Amino acid sequence: MSKLVIENVSRVFPAVRGGAPTRALEPTSLSVADNDFVTILGPSGCGKSTLLRMIAGLDTPTTGTLMLDGKPITGPGADRGMVFQSYTLFPWLTVSENISFGLRERGMAPRECAAIAGAWLEKVGLTSFANHFPKQLSGGMQQRTAIARALANDPKILLLDEPFGALDNQTRGLMQELLLGIWERERKTVIFVTHDIEEAAFLASRVVVMTARPGRIKADIAVDLPHPRLYTLKTSPEFAVLKARLTEEIRAEAVLAAEAH
């Protein structure tokens, strides 16, 4: 049975100031298996973030249904962990307090909260920064904290919306390896939105390519690259073939997206 089932989900935003309604997402269907790492790749404005927000329960589809473990998604829930491009940490809380925030909200005992936060601090390499505040951290460290906070709640599915988009190339590469390492160990179901072709190919077990707005699924490509994946994989012939295929799929959509602006 699929972990997540998206069936004929569309999103139309109402007209603003007498203009026409915006068709962000055409009716879209997608099934995601347990432990799958799906990257959603598409040009800016193609509806990929809108789709992710609907899976998170932060937005409501115009048509269609979304089911997680056979139950309809009707709003946000602890069974889904969300990481945004902006770090969205609480500036008044320490790194450790940020990570354990959701656990405290659910009424977990302080000792248990501290133990789980400590384990995640170790997994993301931030043990020595447990008592720092977000403003004292680099962008990469803040995003590691955000990922740890999302995973500390033990969600059924992890949703990431261009989480490394604001990072420099070197940090971005390290964060990709870190996230893959966590996925390989924890075996979470992951949906990762990006417009970066190399990132989509490197991370995924499946790449879903979307068209320019109004978005729909253009291609669903299985990625058969070995694990554990290290940065050196990006120089391999197999990776070059996959990247070339994805580039071809997305090029026409990027042109259409540019013409629409």
Structure confidence by residue, pLDDT tens digits, 146-183 = 999 999 999 999 999 999 988 888 889 999 999 999 99
Residue 137: DSSP 8-state: S
3-state DSSP assignment of residue 164: coil
Q: Are residues 112 and 50 in the same domain?
A: no
CB-based contacts of 13: which residues, under 8 Å, 6+ apart?
Answer: 21, 22, 24
Q: 92-111: per-residue pLDDT in tens? A: 999 999 999 999 998 999 99
pTM of the model: 0.93
Give yes or no: residues 144 and 45 share one domain. no
Taking the C-alpha atoms of residue 146 and residue 67, their distance in angstroms, rounded to an integer, is: 25
pLDDT of res. 242: 95
The residues that bridge with 13 in the sheet, in sequence order, are 22
Residue range(s) defining the domain that contains residue 192: 33-61+73-79+155-261
Pairwise pLDDT comparison (41 vs 46), residue with the higher score: 41
* Structural Rg of the chain based on CA atoms: 19
Q: Answer whether residue 114 is part of any domain.
A: yes
What's the rounded Cα separation, in Å, for the pair 123 and 119? 6
CATH number at residue 253: 3.40.50.300
Q: Using an 8 Å Cβ cutoff, are 113 and 100 in contact?
A: yes
Give me the amino acid identity at 241.
V
Collect all residues with Cβ–Cβ distance below 8 Å to 107 and sequence separation of at least 6: none
261 has pLDDT over 80 = no
Total structural domains within the chain: 2
